Copies of this chain bind each other. A is one copy, B any other.
Amino acid sequence: MVRTARFSEEDFIEATMALVAEGGPAAATMQAIARRVGAPTGSIYHRFDSRSAVLGAAWNRAYASFIKALAPLLRKGRPREAALAILPWSRENERRARFLLLNEPVTLFEDTPPPAPLREELERLEEEFDGAFRACVSGCGDGVVRDEDLARAKFLIFDAPIAILRPHLMRGGALPPFAERMIAELHAGMPLAATRNRAARPAVVA
């Protein structure tokens, strides 16, 4: 190294997350990222090949942090704790939570996909997460993991809690206490494994 860098990868990634969290993916233009860091746009290209490389790096970083918080609980066979762990993680990583949980990768990368190394890293992360789900599901039944059971687990532990949190993440500010209650009740009322060989208990109407 011959010249000390004023701006780090970290700086650009953090700025990107903040911009997307605040104004959606379209707000994270290269010029906006640079402006936020206080750098000229060209400097970003000394660290990243392209805009999708910046976005991809930010996504992988946020996703890895999220998985780190949930996967151990899943592997220990604690789906309810895993679902509830999304709350403290979101509170401690507000920016990351808004960035990760309020955007779909498909909309974030729809124009140009990230470069190969980042795509591969993302695949690894997704496999790790998927594996944790499978471990959790297979721990609660026999060895075979049926599609329905996996879909059900992902819903109960991931998609449903996020759906509960979404309005409050969007609005900003604190997550209300009843969000936690809703997640807990959801897990109390709906079993992780699909009821086999009998129809769902019919709901009592009126």
Q: Which residues of A contact B (CB under 8 A)?
A: 23-27, 77-78, 80-81, 103, 106-107, 110-111, 147-148, 151-152, 155, 159-160, 162-164, 166-167, 170, 176, 178, 181-182, 184-191, 194-195, 199-203, 205-206
Contacts and interface: CB of A to CB of B under 8 A. Distances in A.
Given A26-B110, A184-B200, A201-B188, A178 B166 contact: no
Contacts of A164: 151, 155, 159
Contact of A185 (B81, B176, B185, B190): B190
Contacts of A80: 203, 205
Nearest to A179: B151
Oligomeric state, in number of copies?
2
A155 B159 CA distance: 11
12 contacts: A24-B107, A151-B164, A151-B182, A152-B178, A155-B163, A155-B182, A159-B163, A160-B160, A181-B194, A185-B200, A188-B189, A189-B191
Contacts of A77: 206
Given A24-B107, A106-B24, A152 B205 contact: no
Contacts of A203: 80, 184, 187-188
A178 to B, nearest CB: 4
A185 to B, nearest CB: 4
